[in-house]
Amino acid sequence: NATHVQALVAAGVPLATMQVQYSLIDDRPQRQLVAICRKHAIHLLCYGAAAGGFFSEKWLDAPEPCEPFENRSLRKYKLVIDDFGGWSLFQELLVALRRVGERHDADIATVASRLVLDRPMVAAVIIGGRNCDHLASNRRIPDVQLTEQDRTEIDAVLACAHPLEGDVFDLERDRTGRHGSIMKYNLNATAA
């Protein structure tokens, strides 16, 4: 989070990039972290821009999913959607993204990823491709040039959202909370 990054910078640790979760439904980095990154020329490598696949035509007009999910990533991003404003508001966002995408011959995930890529201090979006099915659309992300009208249309939906609480990773750090309880910790620990 911003406090930890500030401490690292103050200790003289040279940081060029940081990997953070950042999407249209999780804007926590823009609250404090982006200002610190701008001040110290640290760029963001963002995962979750497509919310584990929820930003896709597959979920447009789909009924609200419930447990069990295919993987932990979908469970995690469904919690983010719930906190963002729920399935109904998320559907409004998908509709707006689809309209914008139609104007640019791009799919929902491409538009959502492009919007994150255009945010201050973002150097790249990390695409979590499980296969090659979306390779062509992912390659289009840098080429899509969104207009002010496009951004205004998306921002109108985002203005109705409930921002996630806290700073980057605060919700996930609370191991007793809804978000933290599904996380896996110490995956790099060695066996004794």
pLDDT tens column, 8-50: 999 999 999 999 999 999 999 999 999 999 999 999 999 999 9
Non-local (6+) Cβ contacts of 58 within 8 A are none
**pTM for this entry:** 0.91
In this predicted structure, the answer to whether residue 180 has a pLDDT above a threshold of 70 is no
List, in order of start, the domains of the chain with CATH numbers: 2-182 (3.20.20.100)
Q: How far apart are CA 23 and CA 50, in angstroms?
A: 7
* pLDDT at residue 191 in the model: 64
Angle at CA of residue 22, ends 18 and 27, nearest 5°: 120
Label residue 119 by pLDDT band (50, 70, 90): very high
- Among 27-31, 33-37, 69-73, 139-143, where is mean pLDDT lowest? 69-73
What is the overall mean pLDDT for the chain? 93
Helix H or strand E encompassing 123 = strand 122-125
